[in-house]
Every structure is written in structure tokens, then in C-alpha cells.
Amino acid sequence: MSDDTRTAYRTCPLCEAGCGLEITVQAGKVTRIRGDRDDVFSAGFLCPKGSTLKQLHDDPDRLRRPMVKRDGVHVEVEWDEAWDIIADRLPAIIQEHGRESVGVYMGNPSAHNLSAMLHNRTLLTALGTRRRFSASTVDQMPRQVAAAYVFGTPVSVPVPDLDHTDHLIIIGGNPYASNGSLCTAPDFPGRIERMRARGGRLVVVDPRRTRTAEEADQWVAIRPGTDALLLAAMATTMAEEGLISVGDHVAEHVSGVDDVVAALAPFTPEAVATATGVSADDIRRLARDLCAASSGSVYGRIGTTTTEFGTLASWLVDVVNTLSGNLDRRGGAMFPKPVAGSGNTRGKPGRGKGFSVGRGHTTVRQHPEVMGEYPAAAMAEEITDAGDERMRAMVTVAGNPVLSTPDADRLDAALAALDFMVSVDIYLNETTRHADVILPPPSQLQREHYDLALLGFAVRNVANYSEAVLPIDEGAPDEWEILAKLGLIAAGMGPDADPASADELTLRGMVQHAVGDPSSPVHGRSEDEILAALGTTAGPARTLDFMLQTGPYGAAFGANPGGASLALLKEHPHGVDFGPLQPRIPEILRTPSGTVELAHPVLMADLDRLRAAMPAWEAQPLVLVGRRHLRSNNSWMHNIEVLVKGKPRCTLQVHPDDADRLGLRDGAVATVTSRVGSLDAPVEVTDSVRPGVVSLPHGWGHGQPGTRLRVAAERAGVNSNVLSDAEAMDPLSGTSVLNGIPVSVTAR
């Protein structure tokens, strides 16, 4: 190695797996990226996307300087000019029309971004609007809402104890493509293979025979949208056959078992067989096998959450895990204990306020606030149909809702009608083309990293901090500075507002709270002493240090020498392993009763709606589901040549029986029509989808005028969310139905 060559270690921020990367940098340029074999969690694994952080950094279309729209065309400007325009427009709108005239949408990459994790809040607080939207309501919100009712907080989501389980049932997840979600597990496929090698069984419930299903011992081709019925019938089978055994380890902490069993009694395997498309015998076998396994875990993912009964299905996953004795035990469904603190390691353990919704309602459809948000599906109408109460301005951060959220054409038109829009984003894409100002953060390689959100769903308790691999461009702000400054400007502090002051304030607030909190390891300590120890360099690193030091393994500023701290993580660039998951009930609970509230009334009440929906499923001829591909990442990695080359992937998969019936030929174009929209897509005839189901991936539909994604435009594909219906949602969480959309398909 020559003198100017160095090796950097960095956690990949592209998906939830969080793989460790080994990055070779030569003369200031990245020359190679491969899996870090010494990473304590990923041990060298990476997928084809991980090594493309270099291409992403070098992508000439990636924005390096702010863009401002002039006469309908985006032009590059200096940072000062961009800030001036925002300072001129945004506070004026707020002043004239009030805080609620501004809406915010936060997209998926902000969950993998330390800057955003810490300073989105600064922006939100400064804006003070209740009109907050995010990708959560087109994703995992139902899973968190169910957990929040049952366990008391939306961060207490059980994950499958993947490395120890003997029986894994994956419902509506395809980790061979997605690398896992709400289950942080680098090399998910390898972990599944090791499970099977030790004699464990894999069952996959999915309307498509996915790569994961192909690896499974059993594939159950369920009808989309009906997982709640299947799970309810599994629970009923356990009750009928005397298989229920919650287990001595948690029994005294679980309430409501008998009530749940009674409420689910009408959902017998026979009653749900036609609706689910799964035979009563198969449903019974699923229940028996799970109960017979020495340990087992049911894991539901996006196919279960983005449906009309997303919250119920997620709850019933917990119910089935509990009734089969697998809650909170090795090999079952367990709770991670995040190293950098979390809502379930702070405060008084075992009991809390529980969960509630409805602090505010949307203007048009009166949707309640859930987890501080409104449904993403309500954005368009809140802009166009809310009269004087309408959203006049929007800020988007790391989101592409025009491709990712329902009734996309309508949202596209609505964004065009805003008085003012600011986007914090690295691309000029289908959404940001509507922005008056685009503020680009540094590239993924130019920032430090710690996966604050996703390590809270990890199958081992690990911590890994990465320093920035490359320096930030001369004169450009870091992402946290952009977010904080945007907030300060919105609050009327002017274009020269100093983001460091917001950072200082946030940190001071956290320290103040901790020293006054009897359950904090720094309770009673001096605020100034702690602030001094954290240093004077503003930014996410010192806040992270504080969170690590006051977390459950923390060094606590000298009180626990050798404990977690930023310094410790810097000494260990391959990460620090705090061991396998451990039982956490009752300490994890934050419910008012101090028990696992399995029969929470909100969830129980929704069962009537489930029962009433059964006949409709039985009558549904054709529904649309999505799918993911290993080389895609939602809507935004299609500008990387190595990831999109090859066969076009945006195809409509149709079962041969349906193709025959509908007169569709492989390779020909079909028109797909839903209640709200219509599109043309090339047909791929394949028996990997079950009859009655067609599949189209989301995140395509590039090449719009005014975008700058030259590679993506060449393989534009179509936007599947033109077909998803903004009216169709899970009312408990406000999450959209993106799977199981009724459609008709005709040959064009």
C-alpha cells in the first residue's frame, strides 16, 4: 500500500441490514468497497448495493449545490442565496396563514441518517405544525401501533430471535431481496441457512413464490390482505386443540389471554379458508407445527402492514407468538436492548402511560394523529381540498412521495399547486422537481454514521459508529446543519441563523432532563460537568456520545468505566458486540397496567371490521401486490448504472392461468386499472405469483420532465402508486393499502 492509501470502515446506510464496509481510499478517492470481514455483526456480508456507495458519491447527477427554480427551471445557486430565498418566503407564509399552513414529509433514508435522526426534530419543533407526514404510513406504522398498545410504546417491537430459533414463519417479508426489515440482521439469508442447517424449519406465507419462499420448507400462497384472518385462525386452532401455553417465564406478566381467545373463536380455520385461500388443514398444521417446535417465531413484514388490517395483523403476530409460548424467550420473539438509549430503556421500567392517538385531526377526512403523524395518503387533499385551512407550503426531507405514496398522480399535481416547497435531497427527482429550493446534503461517504433507529430492531445488541470516509465539499453544510438552519429560518431567525445554537440547545435539554431523571445513570450529576465532558464541537457525534453513555450499557461519564461511549466505539471500528438478545419482560413494558395488554380494547374492537370484510375477499377476482428487487432501493437507486443494467425489472407479473383467461402474452403490454388510476406495463407470465394476483414493483416511473436522473430515465418503468388508492387504509394507523389493490388487467 502506498502512503496515500488508507482503509476506512463504515456501516452501509442503504438498508436496515447495516452491513460493515471496508473502504479503500487512495489519494482522496474511494477505490474499493467490500464487506468488512471483521465487522462484529455482518462478518463480511454485503449485497450488490453496498459497494455502490462509491458510484452514488461520484454520480454526476447527485446534487452538490442548492438548486432554485427560476421560470420553471432548476438552476444551481450558492448556499447563501438559497437561504435568503427561504428566509424571504417561508416565515412570511407562516406569519400570514399560521403554522398549520406548512406540511412536512420525511422519507425513509432519514431513518438511516444520524443527522436526520437528531435534527429532524429540531426542524419539526421549529415549524410547530401538526401536519407531519412520513414514509411510516406507507410502511411499518401498523407494526409499531400494535406494539404500542400491547407493550406500551411503539419502540417495543419484538423481533424474531433469528440466530436461535428452530422454527421461523415469515409472513409478507422477502429478506432474500430486502435483507430484512424491522429485524436488523446483516446476512439474513445466511442466518436462515444456518437455522436450517441446525434442523430449524422455515415457513413463508406470501402470495408470491419469492426467493425466500424457494428456500423455505413450506410456502403458503395466501390471498393478499388476509393475514389477520390466517393468524386469528392459527390462534383459534391453538385454543381448540389445547395447545396454548404462554409459558411460566411470562405468564404472570400477560393479561387478557382468555379474552383474546374468546374474541377470536369465530375465526376458525374453516371460516377463513375461502377468504385466505389457505385450506383449513394447512392453517391447523401451521399452528401445530409452531406449538410443537422447541422454539419458534412468527415474523410479519410489509406484506402484512400495508393492508387494510395492518395493525390487526401485527397484533395477531404477537398473539400467536404469545399463545405458542414464544414471547420473550430464546429462539422466540424478543426485544432488543439498544445501546444508544431508546424509549424502552429510559424512564421508569415496567409501567407507563401507554399509547394513545388523536392529538389533532386532518382537515379534510378528519384522520387522527398517530405517533405524531398524519397519513401520507392525506397529503394531496390537505393541499387541494382544505380551503382556507390548506397546506400552502411543504418541506420534504429524504423522501420521494410522488413515487412512494398512494394516488401518485394526484399528489404530483397537488405539489405543483403549492405556494412554496423546500426539499432536502441529493437528487432532482419526481418529487423535488416541484421544490422552489433543493438543499443537498453531503453524500453518504461524507458523513459519520450510527444507526440510531434500526439498531433498536436488531437481532443482537450491537453498536457501531463510523466516521465520515471523505471530507465534506468546501463551503457545504452537513445535513444536520441544513435541517437545523431550515428550522431556525422558518422560526424567523433569518438567513444567518446559526445551526450550532440549535444543536447546543437540544443537547442541553437532554442533559438537563437526564440529571433530573431518577432512572438515569447520571441522575443528580452536574449538568455543567457532563456538558464539559461532551466538548464544544457541535453536531451529532457529541449527542450520540451522550446517548451511548447514558444508555443501558453506558460509561455514564466515569461511573461505569469501560462502558459504552463514543470513545469506545471509535476504538472499535468494526463495532462492539453486547451479546445476544435477553428476556426483557416486564422491564420493557410501558403499559398502564404493567402487563402485556394482549386484549387491548382498541385492537379487540377492530375484529368486527375484519369479520365484515370476509365476503368481499371471497369475491375479489384480481388484486395487485408489490415486490422488491435486491438491486433496487425504493425509488432512489435507479440512477446507478451497475444496479439497473440488465433485463427491465418493472414488469407486471401474471400467473399463466390469469394470462390465458385475460388474453395476456409474455412481453406484451397490458393496461392495469384501479379505482383511481391506470397504467401500461409489460407482462411477465410466471407461476411465481398465485392465481388472482398480479405484481408490479414500486419506485419506478422516472423520466419526468424537469428531473435530473439521466440513467434512471433510460429505464423509466411505471409508477405503481398511480394505482394505489388514497382512500384505502388501515384506520388504526393511517397506513395505506399498497398490497391487495383491486385491479382489472386488459391486453393493450
Ligand X SMILES: Nc1nc2c(c(=O)[nH]1)N[C@H]1C(S)=C(S)[C@@H](COP(=O)(O)OP(=O)(O)OC[C@H]3O[C@@H](n4cnc5c(=O)[nH]c(N)nc54)[C@H](O)[C@@H]3O)O[C@H]1N2
Residues of the shown chain interacting with ligand X in the complex, contacts defined by CB under 6 A: 15-16, 107-109, 113, 135, 138-139, 171-175, 177-179, 181, 205-208, 210, 222, 224-225, 227, 301-304, 307, 397-401, 404, 424-427, 429, 441, 479, 625-630, 632-636, 698-699, 720-721, 724, 738-740
Judged by CB, which is closer to ligand X: 205, or 455? Answer: 205
454 binds ligand SF4 (CB under 6 A): no
CA angle 120, 123, 128 (to 5 degrees): 125
Q: Work out how close the CB of 632 gets to ligand SF4 at its nearest, in angstroms, rounded to a whole number.
A: 10
Q: Of 18, 331, 375, 441, which lies in the binding site for ligand SF4, with binding defined by CB under 6 A?
A: 18
Nearest approach, Cβ of 458 to ligand SF4 (angstroms)? 12
> Which stretch in 14-22, 261-269, 599-607, 726-734 sits in contact with ligand SF4 by CB under 6 A?
14-22
> Using CB distances below 5 to 8 A depending on partner kind, what does residue 46 bind out of Mo ion, ligand SF4, ligand X, none?
ligand SF4
What is the DSSP secondary structure assignment for residue 596, as one 8-state letter? Answer: E
Could you tell me the smallest distance in angstroms from the CB atom of residue 18 to ligand SF4? 5
CA angle 463, 510, 425 (to 5 degrees): 65
Minimum distance from CB of 36 to Mo ion (Å)? 25
Interface with ligand SF4 (CB under 6 A), residue from 10, 49, 54, 329: 49
Amino acid found at 36: D
Going by DSSP bridges, is the β-strand pair 254-255/596-597 parallel, antiparallel, or unpaired? parallel
Indicate which of Mo ion, ligand X, ligand SF4, none lies near residue 738 (CB less than 5 to 8 Å, by partner kind). ligand X
Nearest-CA neighbor of 213 among 624, 698, 689? Answer: 689
Of all residues in the shown chain, the one whose CB is closest to ligand X is 303
Cell of 285: 398444521
What Å distances lie between residue 133 and 118, 136, 474, CA to CA? 17, 8, 33
Q: Do the Cβ atoms of 318 and 150 come closer than 8 Å? A: yes
Q: Which stretch binds ligand SF4 (CB under 6 A): 42-50, 81-89, 248-256, 462-470?
A: 42-50
CA quadruple 470, 474, 476, 481: dihedral sign: positive
CB-nearer residue toward ligand SF4: 42 or 295: 42
State whether residue 570 is helix, strand or coil.
Answer: helix
- When asked if residue 584 is in the footprint of ligand SF4 (CB under 6 A), the reply is no
CB nearer to ligand X: give 227 or 373: 227
Distance CA 553, CA 718 (A): 48
Which lies closer to Mo ion via its Cβ, residue 110 or residue 344?
Answer: 110
Three-state DSSP class for 138? helix
Sequence length of the chain is: 748
- DSSP conformational letter for 472: P
Q: Which does 438 bind (CB under 5 to 8 A by kind): ligand SF4, Mo ion, ligand X, none?
A: none
Q: How far is the CB of 630 from ligand SF4 (least distance, A)?
A: 8
What's the first-to-final CA gap in the chain, in angstroms?
59
286: Cα separation from own chain's centroid: 28
Residue 132 interacts, among ligand SF4, ligand X, Mo ion, none and using kind-specific CB cut-offs from 5 to 8 Å, with none
Pick 8 or 141: Cβ nearer Mo ion? 141
Question: Residue 304 or 595: which CB sits closer to ligand X?
Answer: 304
At 533, is the secondary structure helix, strand, or coil? helix
**Interface characters, 157-196, with ligand SF4 (x: CB under 6 A):** ----------------------x------x----------
Q: Which of 17, 116, 216, 452 binds ligand SF4 (CB under 6 A)?
A: 17
Binding partner at 216 among ligand X, ligand SF4, Mo ion, none, C-beta below 5 to 8 Å by kind? none
Q: Does 12 bind ligand SF4 (CB under 6 A)?
A: yes
Is 529 in a helix, a strand, or coil? helix
Cβ nearer to ligand X, comparing 102 with 643: 643
* Nearest CB to Mo ion, comparing residues 133 and 219: 133
**Looking at beta carbons only, is 193 or 258 nearer to ligand SF4?**
193
**Residue in 304, 302, 146 with CA at minimum distance from that of residue 222:** 304
CB of 152 to Mo ion, least distance (A): 24
d(CA 252, CA 248): 8
Window of 8-16, 205-213, 352-360, 685-693 that interacts with ligand SF4 by CB under 6 A? 8-16
Angle at 735 (CA atoms; ends 733, 739), nearest 5 degrees: 135
Task: Please give the grid coordinates belonging to residue 577.
Answer: 458486540
Rank residues 180 and 551 by Cβ distance to ligand X and give the closer one: 180
Nearer to ligand SF4, 18 or 142 (CB): 18
232, 260 in Cβ contact below 8 A? no
Q: Name the minimum Å distance from CB 722 to ligand X.
A: 10
Mutual orientation of helices 607-618 and 227-240 as an angle, nearest 10°?
Answer: 110
Over its C-alpha atoms, the chain yields an Rg (Å, rounded) of 25
Q: Between residues 258 and 618, which has the closer beta carbon with respect to ligand X?
A: 618
| Residue 423 Cβ vs ligand SF4, minimum distance, rounded to whole Å | 23
Q: Nearer to ligand SF4 by C-beta: 15 or 56?
A: 15
**How buried is residue 343: exposed, middle or buried, by Cβ count under 10 Å (0-12/13-18/19+)?**
middle
CB 591 within 8 A of CB 351: yes
Amino acid identity, position 512:
Q
Q: Which does 19 bind (CB under 5 to 8 A by kind): ligand SF4, Mo ion, ligand X, none?
A: ligand SF4
Which residues of this chain interact with Mo ion, rule CB under 5 A? Answer: 139
Q: Determine contact, residues 391/102, Cβ cutoff 8 Å.
A: yes
Which residue lies nearer to Mo ion by CB, 179 or 464?
179
Residue 698 contact partner, candidates Mo ion, ligand SF4, ligand X, none, CB within 5 to 8 A by sort of partner: ligand X
Residue 655: name its binding partner from Mo ion, ligand X, ligand SF4, none (Cβ under 5 to 8 Å by kind). Answer: none
Residue 368 to residue 730: CA distance in whole angstroms = 12
Binding partner at 142 among Mo ion, ligand SF4, ligand X, none, C-beta below 5 to 8 Å by kind: none
Residue 18 touches which member of Mo ion, ligand SF4, ligand X, none, C-beta under 5-8 Å by kind: ligand SF4
Residue 478: closest CA among 486, 729, 583, 48: 486
Span from 45-53, 81-89, 601-609, 737-745 in contact with ligand SF4 (CB under 6 A): 45-53
287: Cβ contacts below 8 Å, ≥ 6 apart: 233, 234, 235, 237, 238, 241, 243, 320, 324
- Rounded to a whole number of angstroms, the minimum distance from the CB of residue 14 to ligand SF4 is 4
| Alpha carbon 261 to chain centroid, angstroms | 31
- DSSP per-residue string spanning 642-689: HHH-SS----EEE-HHHHHHHT--TTSEEEEE-SS-EEEEEEEE-TTB
- The residue among 163, 161, 171, 165 whose CA lies nearest residue 316 is 171
**Interatomic CA distance for residues 232 and 142, integer angstroms:** 17
* 303 vs 354, beta carbon nearer Mo ion: 303
CB of 80 to ligand SF4, least distance (A): 35
Most distant CA pair in the chain, distance: 75
Residue keyed to cell 374492537: 605
Taking the least distance from each CB to ligand SF4, the nearer of 175 and 406 is: 175
Q: Choose among ligand SF4, Mo ion, ligand X, none what residue 383 binds, the Cβ cut-off being 5 to 8 Å by kind.
A: none
* Chosen from Mo ion, ligand SF4, ligand X, none, partner binding at 12 (C-beta under 5 to 8 Å by type): ligand SF4
Residue 50, contacted partner among ligand SF4, Mo ion, ligand X, none, CB below 5-8 A by kind:
ligand SF4
Binding site for ligand SF4 (CB under 6 A): 12, 14-15, 17-19, 46-47, 49-50, 179, 186
